[in-house]
A and B are shown apart, each in its own frame.
Chain A
């Protein structure tokens, strides 16, 4: 069912996510957040989604951590609070816990990993992509084939979003400097 590796990764991910939320020191929180992304990346690869894992490792654990670090680099840092938690509002924490439990309650209803019978993922579309993608596009990586060939509009939009968001953020940062 669930292997020891997966269980260990899940515990690591949940713990690092909690640490990110409750650590008072922003620097420590950013570092723990990078560890969280790394755990997610490994989990994606264990779950046989290497494309997603690669993205998570490069963007989440790599560049995101660097961008967050340079963002706080010039703020002042309090000393001696490295591992101290924030004051937890237990009412809010209980509410969040309830919400998490409510979502977790739906997990048993999901089909098992790799289960083909009664799983909507493994339907007609799946069969079409897996059997036809190479024939139609001559690309071995079916994820790339879907991204660019079958869902080209989405990918063009995505690239445009990256470009537009970059230009917008840079414009704002420039104005901050000028002001």
Chain B
């Protein structure tokens, strides 16, 4: 699936992402959970949490990161968020305590039901937003492209002159440039799933601070024979 796709493996980007990712994740969760007391909330926090995954896939390659992700979790948070919100909204009616739809303050037992109800709603929103953004990113980055490269790869040679009509003349040079680029792509950094194993040792040494289990995503992806990916194989 990474035919013709260029993934430049950069130790600098990988080390930076390893260092920054836990803090960005924490910040996203803070924005979500603290949205009741400071600027922020579910929409912003969800996007920031999703950007952690986007960062990881920039550093480790889009396809390995997608394989590392558990798709059931993605579907779970995307629809679970809405379910949490809807359940909280319906709760006051179903409990029969005389509350109206969305009247979070009418929950019994819980102290301060408005505040914690609102926080839970924010968490639900964040789950849905994060799930949608993550899946959207991966579908745009890899799903929309059939195996074997871009749908535009072939017709590009004919397209280039027509798109450069504003420039008046030299379509020949344009297409020559283009073909040069394409061959460079193919012979260049062609990376499948292995680069991970090689890069793991040098980066581990200097990033002991972020050496939690979460920060080595691609290892899991390559060790496992990608069981989660079966259903998502493109036809």
Q: A58 on the interface (CB 8 Å rule)?
A: yes
Q: Name the distance in Å between A41's Cβ and chain B's nearest Cβ.
A: 11
Q: Name the distance in Å between B165's Cβ and chain A's nearest Cβ.
A: 10
- Contacts A140-B36, A149-B118: A63 and B78 contacting too (C-beta < 8 A)? no
Q: Name the distance in Å between B142's Cβ and chain A's nearest Cβ.
A: 9
Q: B150 on the interface (CB 8 Å rule)?
A: yes
Q: A113 on the interface (CB 8 Å rule)?
A: no
Q: A102 on the interface (CB 8 Å rule)?
A: no
Asked if A78 contacts B174 (CB within 8 A), the reply is yes
- Contacts A62-B51, A152-B102, A156-B86: A71 and B140 contacting too (C-beta < 8 A)? yes
Q: Name the distance in Å between B146's Cβ and chain A's nearest Cβ.
A: 6
Q: A160 on the interface (CB 8 Å rule)?
A: yes
Which of A54, A79, A145, A153 makes the CB contact (< 8 A) with B40? Answer: A54
- Nearest chain-B residue to A85 (Cβ)? B166
Asked if A144 contacts B122 (CB within 8 A), the reply is yes
Bound together, the chains give a CA A55 to CA B82 distance in angstroms of 20
Q: B85 on the interface (CB 8 Å rule)?
A: yes
Asked if B35 contacts A170 (CB within 8 A), the reply is no
Asked if A138 contacts B115 (CB within 8 A), the reply is yes
Q: A124 on the interface (CB 8 Å rule)?
A: no
In the complex, chain B residues whose CB is within 8 Å of the CB of A67: 136-137, 140
Which of A74, A137, A159, A174 makes the CB contact (< 8 A) with B105? Answer: A137
Q: B66 on the interface (CB 8 Å rule)?
A: no
Q: How many residues of A contact B (CB 8 A)?
A: 53
In the complex, chain B residues whose CB is within 8 Å of the CB of A137: 105, 114-115, 118
Q: Mark A146-179, 1 if CB is under 8 A from B, else 0.
A: 0111001101101110110110011001101110
8 Å CB contacts to A: which residues of B50-85?
50-51, 54, 78-79, 81-82, 85
In the complex, chain A residues whose CB is within 8 Å of the CB of B139: 169-170, 173-174
Asked if A76 contacts B85 (CB within 8 A), the reply is no
8 Å CB contacts to B: which residues of A25-79?
50-51, 53-55, 58-59, 62-63, 66-67, 70-71, 73-76, 78-79
In the complex, chain B residues whose CB is within 8 Å of the CB of A3: none
- Nearest chain-B residue to A80 (Cβ)? B177
- Given known contacts A78-B163, A78-B174, what 7 new A-B pairs fall within 8 Å (CB)? A58-B44, A74-B149, A76-B153, A137-B105, A149-B105, A170-B136, A176-B144
Q: Which 10 A-B pairs have the closest CB atoms?
A: A166-B132, A74-B150, A50-B39, A152-B102, A70-B141, A76-B156, A58-B47, A137-B114, A140-B37, A139-B36
Could you give 5 example pairs across A and B, Cβ below 8 Å?
A144-B35, A148-B104, A159-B124, A159-B129, A163-B82
Give the B-binding residues of A (Cβ under 8 A).
Answer: 24, 50-51, 53-55, 58-59, 62-63, 66-67, 70-71, 73-76, 78-79, 81, 86-87, 136-141, 143-145, 147-149, 152-153, 155-156, 158-160, 162-163, 165-166, 169-170, 173-174, 176-178
Give the A-binding residues of B (Cβ under 8 A).
Answer: 31, 35-44, 47-48, 50-51, 54, 78-79, 81-82, 85-86, 89, 102, 104-105, 112, 114-115, 117-118, 121-122, 124-125, 128-129, 131-133, 135-137, 139-141, 143-146, 149-153, 156, 159-160, 163-164, 166-167, 174, 177-178, 181, 234-235
